[in-house]
């Protein structure tokens, strides 16, 4: 038995294991105990036929090994137990491919996009500047003409960049699949010293199927400056790609980007790395964290759903409890928490059916009836700022979740189906940095390095080339809000541990105050119909289910008096 506090990243029984809580043998579990219930939880673990490992006193859980059958149910009879979750895959990133991001009725239609040398909505002179890799006067970096998203929120050379770009003292953590710290449009702002990787890649899943692919490094643990999936690099770029004459610029091009990796190469997340990442953010003095992922295998986590088994209820209770404790830990230490709302095209305030859970192992999904007591984590967890996505016309993206209780802010996330704009196809999505290795693995660039298709752009400058990718999703929306939060911390924060310190409550207040109030569509309470499903917007222009407190505004954040 190991007692005391488990430091983030310390080795422990079953950390990151691909356990399956069914069948014979044993499995690893995270056993969350009620406040003051550590001793009773250890007794319950032993009485249930299990063995206790490390104890995390910060978040209140025990790493334990126990039988795959009946162990969780036996623990659940103890009042000291708040949840029991197998230490296994629990999440996935919330980015959509170009094809996925199109509305259902439009997914088979071919998309029209600009060539790699063109500039969306720009002039011939701007297109020439793009190919030359030069900064276009008044337009930021060479590919800034394609960044309709930055124009929408005033993050431009003529807007927020001229007034506030953030500072290296502001530490923005990206809890994601990793960050390519060597990408030319990431490297100048990448904080290698503080970056961490809390996951071990898994070549195959529990059924022997390819998962993360071959291990590239000893021990299957990538360095903290790699991103084999690409999702985290795209997010980091939107937040803080520098103004450096290459490619694009982020919302806050002067901040420090810290990779706090909790997702595997395949884009999925384990519970313990997520908990470790949030704990590390609090301990390391990170100012703002972006969480563009959702916790799985349950799209909606229900602690008391009668259609679930007792073991499933305990598993979901463990996810809700564990993530909430980690969020509380980080927020209490000054971390502002920004999260993607989700891509389920669902009113999170009135969910009725969950057809996608449990999402792992593959094929385990079943349809179950749910209600508003079931929550999407972390989007509906306490203390987080949840962001919905809009397309280039400012219409709520068709895929974006929404809800009067759940939506706090909105931001550009891209929407290829948004017809209310002159942009076409992929140009309606969000362009940001992408690792060449990930694009090559996805066959989006060929052996010579030439982009394949319109979703990837190559920008070359002084003999070096960098890649950028169009993506859509609430994953792409939340980093815009994180960038605006970083601007506010830079302007109003005081020196603190690691970086600057501005209370999350103050950042939240300023984000809401500087957002542009956006009312429900004038055509009525509905915005459009998606696959025979009508999305209903409820609330006032000051706060509603589509836009929350409004559309984030970098220029207003750069000029507000606080």
Q: What CATH number should be reported for the domain holding residue 202?
A: 3.40.50.200
Catalytic residue among 87, 176, 205, 228: 176
What CATH number does the domain containing 11 carry? 3.30.70
**Pair (79, 99) in one structural domain:** no
| Last residue of one domain, picked from the residues 69, 87, 105 | 87
What is the rounded distance in angstroms from the CA atom of residue 519 to the CA atom of residue 534?
Answer: 17
Residues 63 and 204 in one domain: no
**Domain finish residue from 87, 119, 145:** 87
Q: Are 536 and 396 in contact (CB under 8 A)?
A: no
Tell me the DSSP string of 298-319: -SSB-SS-TTS-HHHHHHHHHH
Last residue of a domain, one of 45, 62, 87: 87
Looking at the structure, tell me whether residues 301 and 441 fall in a common domain: yes
Q: Tens-digit pLDDT profile for the chain (562 aa)?
A: 112 222 223 222 222 333 334 446 889 999 999 999 999 999 999 999 999 999 999 999 999 999 989 999 999 999 999 999 987 644 555 666 666 666 665 443 322 222 222 223 333 333 333 333 344 445 589 999 999 999 999 999 999 999 999 999 999 999 999 999 999 999 999 999 999 999 987 766 666 666 667 777 787 788 899 999 999 999 999 999 999 999 999 999 999 999 999 988 777 787 899 999 999 999 999 999 999 988 768 889 999 999 999 999 999 999 999 999 999 999 999 999 999 999 999 999 999 999 988 877 777 889 999 999 999 999 999 999 999 999 999 999 999 999 999 999 999 999 999 988 999 999 999 999 999 999 999 999 999 999 999 999 999 987 889 999 999 999 999 999 999 999 999 999 998 776 789 999 999 999 999 999 999 987 655 666 666 678 999 999 999 999 999 999 999 999 999 7
Domain holding 51, by residue range, is: 1-87
Both 82 and 97 in one domain: the answer is no
Q: Residue 522 catalytic?
A: no
Q: How far is CA 22 from CA 28, 67, 77, 509, in A?
A: 12, 9, 19, 46
Distances in Å between the alpha carbon of 100 and those of 103, 109, 132, 291, 393? Answer: 8, 12, 33, 21, 19
Residue 535 designated active-site: no
Do 34 and 154 fall within a single domain?
A: no
**100 carries an active-site annotation:** no
Largest Cα–Cα distance of the chain, in whole Å? 74
Whether residues 76 and 121 share a domain: the answer is: no
Burial class (CB in 10 A: 0-12, 13-18, 19+), 208: exposed
Please give the Cα distance from 300 to 401 (Å, whole number).
13
Q: Are residues 44 and 160 in the same domain?
A: no
Does 207 share its domain with 231?
A: yes
Which among 397, 435, 418 has a CA at the least distance from the CA of 547? 397
Catalytic residue among 386, 388, 472, 475: 475
Count of domains in the chain? 2
Say which DSSP state 447 is in. T
Does one domain contain both 16 and 107?
no
Catalytic residue among 231, 234, 480, 549: 231
Rounded to two decimals, the pTM is: 0.88
Same domain, 33 and 117: no
Q: Are residues 341 and 315 in the same domain?
A: yes
Same domain, 327 and 187: yes
């Amino acid at each position: 038995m190991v007692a005391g506090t488990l430091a983030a990243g310390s080795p422990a029984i079953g950390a990151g294991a691909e356990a399956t809580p069914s069948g014979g043998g044993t499995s690893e579990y995270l056993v969350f105990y009620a406040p003051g219930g550590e001793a009773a939880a250890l007794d319950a673990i032993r009485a249930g036929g299990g063995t206790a490992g490390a104890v995390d006193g910060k978040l209140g859980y025990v790493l334990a090994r126990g039988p795959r059958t009946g162990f969780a149910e036996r623990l659940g009879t103890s009042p000291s137990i708040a949840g029991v979750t197998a230490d296994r895959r629990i999440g996935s990133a919330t980015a959509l491919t170009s094809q996925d991001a199109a509305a259902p009725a439009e997914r088979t239609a071919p998309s029209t996009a600009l060539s790699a040398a063109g500039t969306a909505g720009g002039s011939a002179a701007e297109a020439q500047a793009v190919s030359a890799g030069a900064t276009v006067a008044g337009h930021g970096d060479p590919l800034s003409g394609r960044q309709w998203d930055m124009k929408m929120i005033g993050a431009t050379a003529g807007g927020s960049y001229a007034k506030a770009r953030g500072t290296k003292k502001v530490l923005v953590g990206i809890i994601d699949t990793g960050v390519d710290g060597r990408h030319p449009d990431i490297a100048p702002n990448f904080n290698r010293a503080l970056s961490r990787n809390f996951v071990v890649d898994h070549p195959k899943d529990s059924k022997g199927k390819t998962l993360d692919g071959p291990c590239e490094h000893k021990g299957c643990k990538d360095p903290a400056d790699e991103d084999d999936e690409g999702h985290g690099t795209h997010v980091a770029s939107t937040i803080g790609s520098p103004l450096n004459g290459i490619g694009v610029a982020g919302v806050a091009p002067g901040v420090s980007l810290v990779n706090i990796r909790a997702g595997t190469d395949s884009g999925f997340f384990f519970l313990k790395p997520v908990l470790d990442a949030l704990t590390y953010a609090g301990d390391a003095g990170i100012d703002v964290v972006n969480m563009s992922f959702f916790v799985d295998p349950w799209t909606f986590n229900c602690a008391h759903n009668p259609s679930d088994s007792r073991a499933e209820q305990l598993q979901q209770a463990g996810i809700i409890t564990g993530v909430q404790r980690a969020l509380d830990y980080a927020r209490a230490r000054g971390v502002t928490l920004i999260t993607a709302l989700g891509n389920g095209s669902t009113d999170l305030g009135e969910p009725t059916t969950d057809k996608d859970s449990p999402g792992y192992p593959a094929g385990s999904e079943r349809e179950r009836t749910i209600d508003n007591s079931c929550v999407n984590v972390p989007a509906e967890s306490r203390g987080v700022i949840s962001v919905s996505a809009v397309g280039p016309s400012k219409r709520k993206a068709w895929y974006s979740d929404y809800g009067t209780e759940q939506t706090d802010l909105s931001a550009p996330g891209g929407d290829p189906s948004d017809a209310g704009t002159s942009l076409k196809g992929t140009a309606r999505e969000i362009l940001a940095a992408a690792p060449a290795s990930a694009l090559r693995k996805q066959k989006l660039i060929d052996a010579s390095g030439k982009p394949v298709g319109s979703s990837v752009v190559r920008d070359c400058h002084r003999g070096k080339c960098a890649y950028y990718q169009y993506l859509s999703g609430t994953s792409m929306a939340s980093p815009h809000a994180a960038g605006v939060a970083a601007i506010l911390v830079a302007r109003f924060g005081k020196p603190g541990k690691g970086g600057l310190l501005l209370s999350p409550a103050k950042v939240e207040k300023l984000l809401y105050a500087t957002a542009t109030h956006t009312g429900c569509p004038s055509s009525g309470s509905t915005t459009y119909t998606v696959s025979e499903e009508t999305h209903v917007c409820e609330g006032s222009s000051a706060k509603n289910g589509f836009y929350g407190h409004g559309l984030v505004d970098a220029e207003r954040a750069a000029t507000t008096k606080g």
